[in-house]
């Protein structure tokens, strides 16, 4: 059993992950910005913790204390501006990495984005988002943490299939259901083959349980 902390649990991927972890052997804490969100996760048997990614590293470290696995699924959302994207998707991620290092977390699972390392593919409107993802990933890779970086394509709300591909050349449409991203998060928890890996995720034909 691992002590798991989901940062960004109220987001769509985070909610899927929390639901899928409901009947697992793990002890799960969920980081939430508003106490109004607590009851949904308490019903799943998880422990809500107030967490504001605009707080300082010490405050975030206190929230993460005792966690073995830190899952970062937070994002500012498409309705916010570039300033909020940098505050949450970059600065919030980096502070979470620092906090995970401070508590000696055994694994840090980062939900990033397809093409985060391919600036030539970025549209002007999405540049702040991709810049945040690219450099947060870089900080994580250069840290001492045992990391798993997941880079999903376009996220959809379709029901997951339980199958993916890690090869972009296999798919003309670069998308994946959020539910399947959450399933991959669960598959990566504590798995040796997920250690120090950067994994592209798209809908495909490979069963998720064969990924690691």
For the stretch 78-94, what's the b/e string if a residue is b when 16 or more beta carbons lie within 10 angstroms of its beta carbon? eeeeeebbbbbbbebbb
Question: What does the alpha-carbon distance between residue 181 and residue 13 come to, in Å, rounded to a whole number?
Answer: 7
Token pair for 54 = 């605009």
Q: Select from 68, 75, 140, 138 the least CA-distant residue to 107.
A: 68
Residues labelled as active-site residues: 129
Query: E strands along 124-181, which residues?
Result: 147-152, 154-156, 163-165, 175-177
- In this structure, the number of other CB atoms found within 10 A of the CB of residue 97 comes to 24
CA angle 140/199/97 to nearest 5° reads 15
Q: Which residue has the tokens 């967490």?
A: 51
């Amino acid at each position: 059993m691992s002590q798991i902390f989901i940062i960004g649990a109220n987001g769509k991927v985070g909610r899927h992950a929390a639901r899928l972890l409901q009947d697992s052997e793990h002890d799960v804490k969920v980081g939430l910005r508003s106490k109004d969100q607590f009851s949904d996760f308490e019903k799943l048997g998880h422990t809500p913790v107030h967490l504001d990614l605009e707080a300082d590293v010490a405050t975030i470290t206190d929230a993460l204390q005792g966690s073995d696995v830190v899952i970062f699924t937070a994002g500012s959302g498409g309705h916010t501006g570039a300033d909020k994207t940098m505050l949450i998707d970059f600065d919030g991620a980096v502070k979470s990495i620092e906090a995970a290092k401070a508590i000696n977390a055994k694994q840090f699972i980062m939900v990033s984005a397809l093409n985060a390392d391919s600036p030539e593919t970025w549209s002007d409107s999405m540049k702040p988002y991709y810049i945040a993802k690219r450099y947060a990933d870089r900080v994580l890779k250069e840290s001492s943490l045992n990391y798993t970086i997941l880079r999903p394509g376009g996220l959809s709300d379709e029901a997951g299939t339980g199958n993916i591909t890690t090869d972009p050349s296999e798919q003309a449409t670069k998308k994946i259901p959020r539910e399947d991203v959450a399933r991959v998060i669960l598959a990566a928890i504590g798995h040796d083959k997920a250690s120090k890996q950067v994994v592209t995720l798209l809908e495909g034909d490979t069963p998720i349980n064969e990924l690691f």
